[in-house]
A and B are shown apart, each in its own frame.
Chain A
């Protein structure tokens, strides 16, 4: 019998806010020491009250727009109670009754993935266990860091679709400035079941908690698929609805203790936080602040004369697109800029094993300007670019120091041209005998002598002038 997978995802993403969700603690994205970014409020000190971070609400609404959700203009915060040492108040503030975004959808290839809801909640702290002294420590740096949880409907049918969705989420969230989506800042719970192909009924579901790497997620899904099918076909075990965890060392999932899962969270509306009403005006403001989506950007680039394939690559990455936009805004030709970014810059990224483009757009624009105006050669331009990537050098100073300026030494160019003509009697004779191609050979020799510093146009003109008398 053939089986199909039914998968739903709950994805937790950290929002790119300057401060935490209910207090003004900042710097939580890069704390130096444990308990560096804490205050009485996020530590739940008696007497402290939460005050909502407006920016977090705006970012959540943006995520809702991005995933084509309905925005609940009346939204509430609710308390979820459970005892755990990393939770200083023994409750988490989340959205249970009126989540901020509902009923969205997103296209992954041929398949439409439904988005049940997006809600805002605070993160918990971190426990550190010291085996040597059998002691546990609590780090509250992450406590009350704003998260959104994006809950999909069970619309995925393969691990590949899941991975494609997560990659799309990551790039879109980064693109819209909603989340940095840094390593580990995106965490997934995967709900998975298996059923005979064509069946409408859902099989017994297992939930695999808290995974952050894509390969882990893929492996866990594939493992669960085999486990479920074996259980159905060969009765290797009795499937029960349960929560499991992925063990990356043993390469398999394990059930979590039932004690960790069978909880009554005693949700109720947080009386300290008034319901948030997002009026039409505020909603319109947030919508207006949305950057173009990757697709919108791509078609915009195509309208600027960029080939479809190149436009797609440029728009797929926030840093590439931002650099492109900035350099074009400085007056450089779009097609030329696209070429520099996609060929030269990406070449440098590959050479230096960089995962993202991090270059001062002013510098890239200056290099392109110098090359386009013929002040330096393309080869020299590449050399400067390489130096900018490696040492972030100043473009003009670097050209000066390394004598890259094509216009400076016309006398030296002429000297070299004459030298090349004198040393290549046979080629000169061929040229004069009507072999036009011979000129190219002489040109190459001059370029080689000058190590790419002279302007090609100037060299070519001088060569022709010297040869034709």
Chain B
């Protein structure tokens, strides 16, 4: 008797009946990527507007955290890989049509950029800092003459970093919940908002906190707008997309999303920040922490929910992990 072995990608428990491949590593990386994008964007932006003295935390102190955040994010990404030793293959090619290639190369560029950018400001934050190696000291001084060019590069690449995480997910057409072009801008705005919240957290200047409260309020408002339109888009789309949206409108993800992400992560901090701008005294750490928490929950829930949504057997019970 001849035996025929049939293998199919669907015979993988991590794929059928529901995609179960990504757990915590990917959402954590997406979150840190967005956060870093936000911090670097604001740092470069306000540097180009010559606000170094007015916004010291935003321009000088916050970027110092970014290399470490990126490192943790990249580590999480690495841990998620199945064939860990072959990660370098991503860098042997540039594929313009692949968001993953965009992401890999953007990270490859932003990581050294963030380190160099932080190096420019280290002496301002730690006056007694000594580079120890004269070559390093000289190169930093040399490159510091081109700070403006670095700033422009940072603006471009941080915008790409913030956006591509959403575009990466939206490229999965087999996952209806992710398959929407609003995800890119949503993640970008969320990243900027968490970056502004982080700056709020570490800022010591009243004026800086005021300004970033305003910026954050505006960004949260934009995020709420985008989320509403995310769902409006789903409900006006194919029935599979409607089914995906219904996970959040009465389905298993309803409570966690609308209370933790929208309620605690967006509406409550926005209300507190608006009240703060009108004179009510609140320790700024509270809205900032809430926004940072909300951004993290957004990534976790979007990644989890996307994996629950599917085209086939759309009337099967959606599962949560």
The yes or no verdict on A and B being binding partners is no
